[in-house]
Amino acid sequence: MAPTVPWPVLITRLSAWAVAACGLLAGTASRWATGRVLRRPVAGSAERAVVPALVRLGPTFVKGGQLLSTRADLLPRAACATLAGLTDRMDPMPAADVRRALSTAYAGGRAWPFAEFDYAAVASGSIAGVYRARLRDGRAVAVKVRRPGLDRRMVADFRLLALAAGVGERMPGLRGLPARLMVDQVGAAVLGQLDLAREAVMLERLRDNLGTMVRIPATVPAAAGEGVLVMEFLDGLQRFGPASFTGEQRGTIVRRVLHAVYQMLFIDGLVHCDMHPGNLYLRPSGEVVLLDAGFVVELSPTVRKLFAQFFVNMALGRAEECAEIVLRSAASVPAGADLAGFRRDLSGLVRQNHGRRAGEFRLGPFAARLFELQRRHRISAAPEFVFPLLSLLVLEGMINDFDVHVDFQKESIPTLFQALRS
């Protein structure tokens, strides 16, 4: 349940917005003036102005911007490209903040579970930092600690954003932009990442579902607390990349990752949507390790079936069926929409991409074109149908580095048919 946000917190956040907006306007004016003096535009001025302003506003805008950068079904490509400049690498919390968060988590007479605790962060994001510690029984653990005070601040941000979106949708020039829909969809995904108890549950469910395909750290519930997640510490991790693996090993790793993703998408319906290089690692043995289950989406049986049907029909080249599935999965289809034109254009897109291998097929441009067609015809995609695409989009570049010959579509068919049979 979202915490109650008193008016002083809302006013404080609104003031922070105003300061950031003033800084953005001042920076834009300065760059405009520089361009006037030089008699040429200053390259990259929009990105250099917008991205730092969002970072100053904090995790709500960093996380929200990252998610919106993938939503080409809702935003123009230029806006998505600008937001893609956001990163989640943040300065570590001061040790005093870590101690304050831990004292809250283990208050009320709870025993301190750690024999050792290293306050130097192993990793640091906008919502939490990760620290190495040792339990009293000698086990090495990773401790994820949420930054103190974030919950009220981020809930306040989204409440203010919802109010602003409602007003914006009525203004000339912004009519037709689904601002409130964007806030609602992104807000649910971002605020869900504050709940580390939920993340612990998701980690264990993913461990049960994915078995030996992917290594996921086991949680230690007895040592956890409010805003603190404790899990086994996995050493020997290296960034997800070809490194010194042979061609045969690379092919095995790629297929293992793809089958794990297809298992999530089509069989289990519990999808990790954040499989970027900061969360996906390898061990020297070739074992694939997946960390951080903060952004996990659970698909309803209906959406999971539609998602499976779309991919199996795409793999088989049934273009018209793919168009019908997209329409059936849409959150809304406006009256008077050119459905015949949408079907024609989407069918052409599927035919164009059918049967391509990883070296030829690019999911990013395919998804961008799909979303462009939806946006042009004002067909709003359901978030449950869009977010799972993130798990494939962020993997695409890494997989092509490993093995350009893997066939995304062919590899999915056994899992797809298993899903449709069940």
Q: Is 146 within the bounds of a domain?
A: no
Q: How is residue 91 written in tokens?
A: 């300065």
**C-alpha angle 181/182/187, rounded to 5°?**
105
Q: Is 376 within the bounds of a domain?
A: yes
Burial of 154 (0-12, 13-18, 19+ CB in 10 A): buried
**What whole-number distance in Å separates Cα of residue 209 and Cα of residue 18?**
46
Report whether 200 contacts 224 (CB < 8 A). yes
Report whether 391 contacts 412 (CB < 8 A). no
160 vs 385, higher pLDDT: 160
Predicted confidence (pLDDT) at residue 214 exceeds the cutoff of 80: yes
Q: How is residue 288 written in tokens?
A: 């694939």
Report whether 299 contacts 307 (CB < 8 A). yes
pLDDT recorded at residue 323: 92
pLDDT recorded at residue 45: 52
Window from 53-57, 90-94, 288-292, 348-352 with minimum mean pLDDT: 53-57
Q: Is 378 within the bounds of a domain?
A: yes
Number of domains in the chain: 1
Q: What is the average pLDDT across 148-158? A: 88
Distance from the Cα of residue 22 to its chain's centroid: 29
pLDDT recorded at residue 88: 65
Query: Which residues have a Cβ under 8 Å from the Cβ of 65 and sit 6 or more positions away?
Result: 51, 54, 83, 86
Q: Is 347 within the bounds of a domain?
A: yes
Q: Is 113 within the bounds of a domain?
A: no
In the structure, what pLDDT confidence band is assigned to residue 1 with cuts at 50, 70 and 90?
Answer: very low
In the structure, what pLDDT confidence band is assigned to residue 42 with cuts at 50, 70 and 90?
Answer: very low
Q: Is 345 within the bounds of a domain?
A: yes
pLDDT recorded at residue 38: 46
Domain with 254 in it: 238-421
Q: Is 162 within the bounds of a domain?
A: no
Predicted confidence (pLDDT) at residue 353 exceeds the cutoff of 80: yes
pLDDT recorded at residue 102: 97
Q: What is the mean pLDDT of the chain?
A: 81
Element (H, E) at 298: strand 296-298
Nearest to 291 by CA among 299, 302, 282: 282
The SS3 assignment for 74 reads coil
Q: Is 317 within the bounds of a domain?
A: yes
Element (H, E) at 156: helix 150-168
